[in-house]
């Protein structure tokens, strides 16, 4: 009987090479050829499920991963990928079972520990979650985010009289959310150096706490210890009832407000700021952004309110839809940085936004925000609540079924009608 394993192994290696080069379709084809050659190859089935999960093909990923585990149930990575797939489909109870199995098989599997931490965060079990969430630095996806310094990471030991580098780690929204901890670090007597992403530094010049603020890429001053912003909740042992929320902790400058007030002219009606999409490169963008052609059902022309675009980037796929909404004030080309966005927000009566940095900024400023969320929303919005533990001025509107933005938009439109009548 002919041994097909060498040919299958060659196909698997070629698929891995294609996957590593982000060549998704060639990788899929190679894996399917490998499985046509050897249908019981659990490694090929696992890789197929992993790739289908990456491509958001969740039912297909579930099928491939279950087949792989049926052949070899001792694969911790496959157990974790199946758990992540089930989480994405809203089947938390099943997912948790597979997370536990993955961690039983391999207690050091970083991806499983991180997934477990995110599950705990989503369920509001913060004190259990933060240490597990530190495993993100050992995962394939997030390891490149880790900064490698000779100085140790701060874990809460006395710091009076020492210099600490606090550094941004993920997106703009994360930075805006977690800079609330900077004053707490300064209150412990530390000299705080705050390093953030390029493009957000000017917004944070009024933040209390930093002795030195700079954007990534500039030369760092000397420091004794460091800490990523998203590790500060662990250091401060944050639970649901101890989230630091000195709202507002960010504000627009008077100069920018003056400029934007002149640009908008006299107030003629209630002003509604809108943001329907975020960073296209975000790994959950497919879930959290809304095509403008669909979001436009909220933007019906009316005499009692004005709609103002708060996002700095309008995607090519949305530009035609925006041109068909001449009554919507498009400020995207004028929002040069976050100081402009903050000033424009300060002239709005309410902000209606998907889960993006615009919403975080408005929340940090203490502005009313109606936040539109997918059924499987990010962990920070918890489950089922219509308020936010992080931003007291938020009102959360959630999908009741996966992908059902129309239901959310109808609910928001009704709330807008109720507010304006």
List, for residues 94-141, the tens digit of each pLDDT value. Answer: 999 999 999 999 999 999 999 999 999 999 999 999 999 999 988 877
pLDDT at res. 107 = 93
* Placement of tokens 């894996």 in the chain: 31
Report helix, strand or coil for 413.
Answer: helix
Helix or strand holding residue 163 (H, E):
strand 163-167
Burial string for 120-151 (b: 16+ CB within 10 Å, else e) reads: bbbeeebeebbebbbbbbebeebeeeeeeeee
Strands 225-228 and 328-329 turn out to be: unpaired
The CA distance from 411 to 397, in Å, is 8
Whether the full predicted model's pTM is greater than 0.75, yes or no, is yes
- Does residue 12 register a pLDDT over 80? no
pLDDT tens digits along 242-253: 999 889 999 999
For residue 4, the model assigns a pLDDT of: 61
Query: For residue 143, what pLDDT is reported?
Result: 61
**How much is the average pLDDT of 54-83?**
94
pLDDT band at 2 (very low <50, low <70, confident <90, very high): very low
Is residue 72 over pLDDT 80?
A: yes
Residue 155 CA: distances (Å) to CA of 27, 152, 222, 307 = 42, 9, 19, 45
Strands 369-373 and 225-228: unpaired
Closest listed residue to residue 11, CA positions, set 48, 56, 52: 48
Q: Is residue 206 very low, low, confident or very high in pLDDT (cuts 50, 70, 90)? A: very high
Residue 195: pLDDT over 50:
yes
Report pLDDT digits (tens) over 35-47. Answer: 888 888 899 899 9
Taking the C-alpha atoms of residue 225 and residue 159, their distance in angstroms, rounded to an integer, is: 9
What domains, with CATH codes, occur in the chain? 5-141 (1.25.40.10), 151-237 (3.40.50), 254-420 (3.40.50.2000)
Across the range 154-170, mean pLDDT stands at 96
**What integer is the mean pLDDT of 302-328?**
95
Mean pLDDT, all residues of the chain: 92
Of residues 306, 310, 284, 282, the one with CA closest to residue 374: 284
pLDDT, tens digit (0-9, with 9 covering 90-100), for 267-286? 999 999 999 998 887 777 88
Count other Cβ atoms within 10 Å, centred on residue 343: 22
Q: Are 207 and 250 in contact (CB under 8 A)?
A: yes
State the SS3 of 247-286: CCCCCCCHHHHHHHHHHHCCCCCEEEEEECCCCCCCCCHH
From CA 419, how far away is CA 421, in angstroms rounded? Answer: 6
pLDDT greater than 80 at residue 8: no
* Contact of 364 with 173, CB cutoff 8 Å: no
CB 20 within 8 A of CB 47: no
Residue 167 has pLDDT above 70, yes or no: yes
pLDDT tier, 191 (very low <50, low <70, confident <90, very high otherwise): very high
Residue 169, C-beta contacts closer than 8 angstroms, at least 6 positions apart: 145, 228, 229, 230
Contact predicate 163/193, CB 8 Å: yes
Note the pLDDT of residue 41.
Answer: 87
Binned at pLDDT 50, 70 and 90, residue 142 comes out as low
Rounded average pLDDT over 295-318: 95
What dihedral do alpha carbons 316, 319, 321, 322 form, nearest 10°?
A: 150
Q: Which residue has the tokens 């504000």?
A: 251
């Amino acid at each position: 009987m002919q041994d097909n394993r060498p040919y299958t192994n060659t196909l698997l290696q070629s698929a891995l090479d294609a996957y590593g080069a982000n060549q998704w379709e060639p990788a899929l084809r190679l894996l399917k050829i490998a499985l046509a050659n050897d249908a019981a190859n659990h490694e090929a089935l696992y890789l197929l499920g992993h790739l289908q999960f990456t491509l958001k093909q969740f039912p297909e990923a579930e099928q491939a991963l279950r087949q792989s585990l049926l052949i070899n149930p001792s694969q911790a990575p496959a157990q974790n990928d199946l758990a992540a797939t089930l989480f994405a489909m809203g089947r938390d109870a099943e997912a948790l079972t597979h997370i536990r199995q993955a961690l039983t098989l391999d207690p050091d599997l970083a991806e499983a520990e991180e997934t477990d931490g995110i599950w705990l965060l989503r369920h509001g079990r913060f004190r259990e979650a933060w240490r597990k969430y530190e495993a993100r630095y050992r995962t394939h996806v997030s390891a490149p985010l880790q900064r490698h310094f000779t100085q140790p990471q701060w874990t809460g030991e006395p710091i009076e009289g020492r210099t600490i580098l606090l550094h941004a780690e993920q997106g703009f929204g994360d930075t805006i959310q977690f800079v609330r901890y900077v004053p707490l670090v300064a209150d412990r007597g530390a000299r705080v150096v705050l390093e953030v992403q390029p493009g957000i530094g000017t917004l944070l010049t009024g933040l209390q706490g930093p002795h030195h603020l700079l954007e990534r890429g500039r030369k760092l001053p000397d420091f004794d210890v460091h800490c990523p912003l998203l590790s500060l909740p662990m250091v401060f042992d944050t639970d649901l009832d101890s989230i630091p929320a000195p709202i507002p902790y960010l504000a627009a400058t008077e100069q920018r407000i003056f400029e934007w007030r002149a640009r908008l002219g006299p107030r003629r009606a209630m002003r509604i700021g809108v943001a329907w999409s975020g960073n296209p490169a975000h790994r959950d963008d497919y879930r959290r952004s809304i095509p403008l052609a669909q979001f436009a059902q909220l933007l019906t022309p009316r005499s009692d309110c004005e709609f103002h675009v708060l996002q700095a980037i309008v995607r090519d796929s949305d530009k035609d839809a925006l041109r068909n909404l001449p009554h919507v004030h498009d400020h995207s080309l004028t929002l040069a940085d976050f100081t402009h966005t903050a000033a424009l927000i300060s002239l709005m009566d309410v902000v209606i936004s998907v889960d993006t940095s615009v919403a975080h900024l408005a929340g940090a400023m203490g502005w009313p925000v109606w936040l539109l969320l997918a059924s499987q929303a990010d962990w920070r919005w918890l489950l089922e609540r219509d308020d936010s533990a992080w931003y007291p001025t938020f009102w959360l509107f959630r999908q009741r079924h996966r992908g059902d933005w129309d239901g959310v938009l109808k609910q928001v439109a009704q709330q807008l009608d109720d507010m304006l009548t």
